[in-house]
Amino acid sequence: MFPGGPTGLLPFASSRFPRYNRTALPPRPHLRLLLCLLLAPVGLWVSSCAVALGPGYSIENQEIRVQFMPGPDPRIRVDSDYQLRNTGTRPVSSLELRLPGRRSFQVAASEASWDGASLAEQKSFANQRATSLALPQPWKVQERHTLHLSSEFQSPPAGSEGFRFAPDAFFLPAEGWAPELLPSEGLFASGGVPPKEWKLIVRVPEGFLVHTSGRSQKMSRTAREVTVQSVQHPEDRYPFVVAGLYQETSPDTGTGDKVFLWARARESAPLRESAEALVRAIQAYDATFGARHQKSRPFWIVECPARDGCFTARESSYADLLSREPRAASSELASLDTVLIDFGGGALKLAAAAPALAASWLGYGQNPGYYDQQPPLSALPAFASALGQEAIEGPSSRTETIRRALGMIPKSAGARKTEEENVVRAKSFLFFYALEERYGRDVFRHAINHMLSARQGRGFNLDDFIAAFEEESHQNVAEFVRLWMKRPGVPDEFRARYENASASIASNFKETKP
């Protein structure tokens, strides 16, 4: 509500202010000058939509080719070709680009060429994470040239960190392995944006299963090789590839969700049980957060080619709330529709995949601030993971998880005491359970669905969250949030409900609007 009293009227709209037409008065000289200063950058911005204002170029055509080369020392070769045109205001003497990080990828060989002539890679002075390519001659305005980049990846030595793959399987994650062209240096610089359509071509040995980003996939075979070509679009975000000698299982689960399990196990019964558990988790996410982006597409869950090279080192700060014992990373979301998972010696522990699955509904490629939220919204991914675990393990998982979080929050705290970080995390996590109980599961689901749908691709904050819940509940949710997060500890009635009640009673909260 705007300031100005309970009616919400702005002060200058009240009867105490004159109601003459101020726009009819001539502006003062200093106001005219201020208006011109404000309109000048707007005019520049508008004109930039059609005419370049600084150095730059466009990528008119792009193609990336991936080839898996098996053998005693298997390698992955990546070739990238770009048709470029100088669309800026002056000649360009060098190109800036970001190549695969050598800390993450063991690069055995790399090269760059400009119209077939070799280019030397140099460290960029302007960007420590970038590489600079000095061009043999200044690239004149409107000229077209061809840039070729290639690199070969190999698995790092045993005991060292980095991207790792097997002789019969590999995956390239949805970021970091493909070159990334950067804008030219200078004021109002532009360039590096991929075209609206470009090709990703993958060549693998015969017998490999292949799954990539993109649409309109075409497959061709020879006696020794399989080639898959797909068309990439901006909505595909970053390109990715997963391929190998996998056994595919796609059981009939009786739902509209198509799931593919790729594993090396020979027994189909464990895989079929895992697929059914996965569908239960997907249904829980659909019900609470709405259908995931591109729901009509199938979902892949794939055994890691090499566990030590599959997962990033980033651990969720909420991991201790989701498990009895701290555990190493065992799943990773490779794309919107693909999860890589450690099968743990043949047994697919799907509950461990819940955090990666939750990211597909909540944040990956949809919410720009997914990993940078502040409490309590920073705990929403952990709460989503807990719902996935509950769908797989049963209702008792809910009570056990809540009790574990309550154990991290002191039963008594001073009124002005600043709570420790781990306590704030636990409170933020329990906050979503409290919301469900206070306003009912139906209100909770509708509010979350509404917020995620309305803010898709733009991120959301606590104000958006509160507004969605107040619209659904017609109650003062802001006050509930303030009391839960600002007061030390958690309400006594909430703690008593879970510390003293059985699992069946604790999970019996309202299903409809209060």
pLDDT, tens digit, 9 for 90 and up, residues 175-234: 789 999 999 877 888 899 999 999 999 999 999 999 999 987 899 998 899 999 999 998
- pLDDT tens digits, 348-361: 455 555 556 666 66
Give me the residue label for tokens 């329990």. 430
Using DSSP's 3-state secondary structure scheme, residue 210 falls into: strand
Q: Given this model, what pLDDT does residue 316 score?
A: 55
Is residue 49 over pLDDT 60?
no
Q: Are strands 57-69 and 198-205 parallel, antiparallel or unpaired?
A: parallel
| Tens-digit pLDDT profile for residues 115-151 | 999 999 998 877 767 899 999 999 999 999 999 999 9
Residues facing 203 on adjacent strands: 67, 227
Residue-wise pLDDT tens digits, 396-431: 889 999 999 999 999 876 655 688 889 999 999 999
Query: What is the sign, positive or negative, of the torsion defined by CA atoms of 183, 100, 357, 302?
Result: positive
DSSP state of 350: G
Strand, helix or coil at 443? Answer: helix
Cα 321 to Cα 143, 407, 426, distances in angstroms: 58, 10, 7
Residue written as tokens 């070709």? 81
Could you tell me which CATH class the domain 57-245 is placed in? mainly beta
Strand 338-341 versus strand 299-303 pairing type? parallel
Q: Is the dihedral of CA 497, 502, 506, 510 positive or negative?
A: negative
Residue 96 token pair: 């800036």
Neighbours of 318 (CB within 10 A): 21
Domain map (residue ranges) of the chain: 57-245, 377-506
Please give the mean pLDDT across all residues of the chain. Answer: 77
Same fold, 57-245 and 377-506: no
Per DSSP bridges, beta strands 225-232 and 198-205 are: antiparallel
The pTM score is 0.67
Determine whether domain 377-506 maps to CATH 3.30.70.
Answer: no
What's the confidence (pLDDT) of residue 484?
93
